[in-house]
Amino acid sequence: MRLPDRSSTPSFVAGSLLAACSLLLAACAAGGASAPPSSAVASTGPGLTVAPSVASEPPPATNGGAALAGVPTGCYGLGEVDCRLVRDHVATLLTATDPAIRYVQIGPFGCAAGQGCPTTLAARPEGDVTVESNGEAIGFHVKSNGETLETVRQEVFGVSLPPTSTPPLPAGPQPFALGHCGLWSGVDLGGSWWDPIGFVDSDHGDSINAAEGTILLVGPDQARFTSKGGLTFQLARHTGAKHLPLCM
């Protein structure tokens, strides 16, 4: 407590001290408590909580990058290294409510400048990813800025269809023609759908147009398609219905 500048007057000093002592004695007699220092945390009432000074981050997705490891994956336009990078990134965005994924389509990722560019994210920085399960599909749009991947979850429009072909798929090269939308028409042969896996040259005209070629069974659940125009890619047997995008 600051006193007025009258310290040179003894009678005033004595009176002020007596007044201060009287106030302290009265407070003690009444059982009063001194006020908390300004740094003390104020108490909250019943049912109230103190808001944190920094907003809490949303809970992370439950699935890590390993969630899609081993799932058949088609890399449309991207090489193996960058394709895996995108797949593992998308895997971290899947949640516990998403179904188990049976197939992953990375891309197409097109050239930022003209055709025939390298199959890297540096040359092909933007594309779509579709993950599929039991005829259902979840979509993501992915864009690379050179340092990080910016990803937006998006709706995928299409239809879920069972295979209409009849088994079995005989040994040896079998004639097969892609539909008028190329790979987006689907590959239905021998009683099953077949998913493109590994690298797919999405710049090739046969990938998006009708194309005649042959399919060769190279394992119980693996095959290879080669078009007359030179488009070649591997296939894995798809179990059940297949989600096909809308194609005009």
Q: Where are the domains of the chain?
A: 62-156, 157-248
Helices (H) and strands (E) in the chain, counts: 2, 13
pLDDT tens-digit profile of 38-57?
333 333 333 322 233 333 33
CA dihedral over 168, 169, 171, 176, signed as positive or negative: positive
pLDDT at 66: 58
Q: Highest-confidence range of 65-69, 92-96, 99-103, 221-225, by mean pLDDT?
A: 221-225
pTM over 0.85: no
225 DSSP β-pair partners: 215, 233
pLDDT tier at 184 (50, 70, 90 boundaries)?
very high
Percent of the chain with pLDDT over 70: 73
For residue 6, pLDDT over 70 is answered with no
